[in-house]
Amino acid sequence: MNQDVPSMHSAYTKAKMAALYKVACRWSSGTCVFRRPALYSPRNLYSSDSSTPIEGQGETESQQPVAEKPKSGFAVAYELHSDLRQQQQQQDSGPSPSRVSSTTTRDETSFASLLRHSPLVQMGPAKDKIVLGKIFHVVGDDLYIDFGAKFHCVCKRPSTDGDKYQRGTRVRLRLEDLELTSRFLGATTDTTLLEAEAHLLGLAGEAKPKA
Amino acid sequence: MAAGMLTKAICGLRCPRFAAAALSCSSQSYSTAALPKAVLTPSDNTADQNKLLNVPLSHPDFFRVSELFSLKDLFDARVHLGHKKGCRHRLMEPYLFGSRLDTDVIDLEQTVPHLQQALNFTAHVAFRGGIILFVSRYRQFGHLVERTARECGEYAHTRYWQGGLLTNATIQYGPGVRLPDLIIFLSTLNNVFQTHVAIRDAAKMNIPTVGVVDTNCNPSLITYPVPANDDTPAAMELYCRLFKVTINRAKDKRKQLELLKGLGPSTTSS
């Protein structure tokens, strides 16, 4: 076991450890909480081989290069180990849509990342959520309001301040459903109304009384 | 075959008949951009024409359509939003990222290459002087689609589709009708949520199709399906803009290359 340790760590130079520490700091400022224990003590990734389990508190950097040989590819090895660790944690905690693969969770502009941070997903279930919408079409007393989802909603013009609701007006809505669908008897797929459902609460620009 | 069809086009049969038929179907009259009527050039120019036609084939993305949009643009236009789980078509499952709170989410990492391929193909067809027909029976965006077609000098059909429009064209519209070389579906469903008849008819007539398929659509017979949202105005405007820009870019490139090589109708053959 002891013989394995120097050969494992022989790959790392001080510069590489510094780079690792920079990468680790960037990651710790990200979203995944479960990685923090790994960041503080990188050597614990190879926990079965670690003979000197020192908790990384800034001393890991200086103590590591004592038994290390210069070699390239450390970053790849670290990534590989963190992937394995993440897969292990995935199996423990069960699948979740945000952790598709390690590379996409790292890349801030990946689709998974964009989706996870989008307001529609952060909102959760649509029932009884207050959102802001904008009227984009008016037909008599029907107001077609778009609030940022796939479909628009259609609301009746309210009796109070009725003439203020014109095309382009911003309004407040309480959502019921993002898409009105239902499976009827004898049908193979749902029938959809291509509309969302919401209650109109009022205009968005109303001044709130200051406390 | 393409060269043969092309010479037919150059003969001035840029299908006024078909155009008239399509326009009469839609009961609206607007003129498309008139192509310069080329004189039937002698055969020694055909080799140069063929060389010109093969120029874009040397590069995988000759018209640089991948620069026209990014994943973030698609995301901001709400292209990834799908219908509810109960409306899902079984064959769209490979294109889905997943389902959240009963709503399907389309995988934009797959949509991006599909859309790039579709735009690239459209550009090549437009470069070679093909007729492009925009089809969409989605009433909310009918006017948008017709306006897009007019702005890029192509055709649109957003009204009731007569059964024999493609398959019975020679009888309904007379002999020698030129059918479209590409049909772009901005929504593959008709008003009763069935697959548009034109998809099957285009497959029967060997006409390639590009189609925006939502999670409740069947992507089977479409040559270049693009798994994307087709219900939101923001997304539809994005597609219309992308197709319009691609077609105009391809046509401008054609004119530019023709002028460079001296193959324009007004210049003598080299």
pLDDT digits (tens, 9 = 90+) for A25-44: 555 444 444 444 444 444 44
Q: Which residue of B has its CA nearest to A123?
A: B101
Predicted pLDDT at B122: 97
* One-character DSSP codes across B202-257: HHHTT--EEEEE-TTS--TT-SEEEE---SSHHHHHHHHHHHHHHHHHHHHHHHHH
Distance (Å) from the alpha carbon of A201 to chain B's nearest alpha carbon: 23
Interchain CB distance below 8 Å, B84 and A192: yes
B26 in contact with A, Cβ within 8 Å: no
Distance (Å) from the alpha carbon of A152 to chain B's nearest alpha carbon: 8
pLDDT beyond 50 at B194: yes
B252 in contact with A, Cβ within 8 Å: no
Q: Which residue of B has its CA nearest to A153?
A: B232
pLDDT beyond 90 at B29: no
Task: Quote the ipTM score.
Answer: 0.78
Mean pLDDT of B123-142: 96
Interchain CB distance below 8 Å, B82 and A109: no
A136 in contact with B, Cβ within 8 Å: yes
Residue position matching structure tokens 């004119």: B255
pTM > 0.80:
no
Query: Which range among A29-33, A174-178, B52-56 shows the weakest confidence by mean pLDDT?
Result: A29-33
Measured between beta carbons, the chain A residues lying within 8 angstroms of B83 are 150, 179, 181, 190, 192
Measured between beta carbons, the chain A residues lying within 8 angstroms of B91 are none
Question: If 0-12 CB within 10 Å is exposed, 13-18 middle and 19+ buried, where does residue B255 land?
Answer: exposed
B109 in contact with A, Cβ within 8 Å: yes
What's chain A's length in residues? 211
Other Cβ atoms less than 10 A from the Cβ of A159: the count is 6
Distance (Å) from the alpha carbon of B162 to chain A's nearest alpha carbon: 25
- B96 bridge partner residues: B106
What average pLDDT is seen over chain B?
85
B137 in contact with A, Cβ within 8 Å: no
A10 confidence band (pLDDT: 50, 70, 90) = low
Q: Between residues 87 and 126 of chain A, which touch chain B (CB distance below 8 Å)?
A: 97, 109-112, 114-115, 118, 120-121, 124-126
Distance CA(A108)–CA(A113), nearest Å, equals: 6
Integer CA distances (angstroms), B32 to A10, A21, B29, B152, B156, in order: 72, 63, 10, 8, 10
Other Cβ atoms less than 10 A from the Cβ of A2: the count is 8
Integer CA distances (angstroms), A195 to A179, B143, B232, in order: 6, 20, 11
Integer CA distances (angstroms), A120 to A126, B99, B224, in order: 9, 13, 29
Q: Which residue of A has its CA nearest to B228?
A: A150
Query: Which range among A178-182, B12-16, B154-158 shows the weakest confidence by mean pLDDT?
Result: B12-16
Distance (Å) from the alpha carbon of B138 to chain A's nearest alpha carbon: 11
Of B43, B170, B185, B197, the closest CA to residue B118 belongs to B185
Question: If 0-12 CB within 10 Å is exposed, 13-18 middle and 19+ buried, where does residue B102 land?
Answer: middle
Mean pLDDT of B44-60: 86
- Half-sphere exposure at residue B116, Cβ-oriented, CA atoms within 13 angstroms: 18
Predicted pLDDT at A11: 56
- Across the beta sheet with B209-213, the strand order is B155-157, B132-136, B182-187, B209-213, B224-227
Question: If 0-12 CB within 10 Å is exposed, 13-18 middle and 19+ buried, where does residue B106 land?
Answer: buried
Residues B89, B215 contacting (CB under 8 angstroms): yes
Q: Which residue of A has its CA nearest to B138?
A: A194
Interchain CB distance below 8 Å, B231 and A136: no
**Contact pairs from chain A to chain B, CB under 8 Å:** 68
Q: Which residue of A has its CA nearest to B74?
A: A111
Alpha helices in B58-206 (DSSP H): 71-76, 108-127, 142-151, 169-172, 197-204
The DSSP secondary-structure symbol of B160 reads -
Residue position matching structure tokens 């309004």: A171
Tens-digit pLDDT profile for residues A123-154: 999 999 999 999 999 999 999 999 999 999 99
- B189 bridge partner residues: B195
Tens-digit pLDDT profile for residues B226-241: 999 999 999 999 999 9
Label each residue of chain A as H, E or C.
Answer: CCCHHHHHHCCCCHHHHHHHHHHHHHHHCCCCCCCHHHHHCHHHHHCCCCCCCCCCCCCHHHHHHHHCCCCCCHHHHHHHHHHHHHHHHHHHHCCCCCCCCHHHHHCCCCHHHHHHCCHHHHHCCCCCCEEEEEEEEEECCEEEEECCCCCCEEEECCCCCHHHCCCCCEEEEEEEECCCEECCCCCCCCEECCCEEEEEEEECCCCCCCC
Of B75, B81, B101, the CB nearest to A150: B81
Residue position matching structure tokens 């990188």: A42
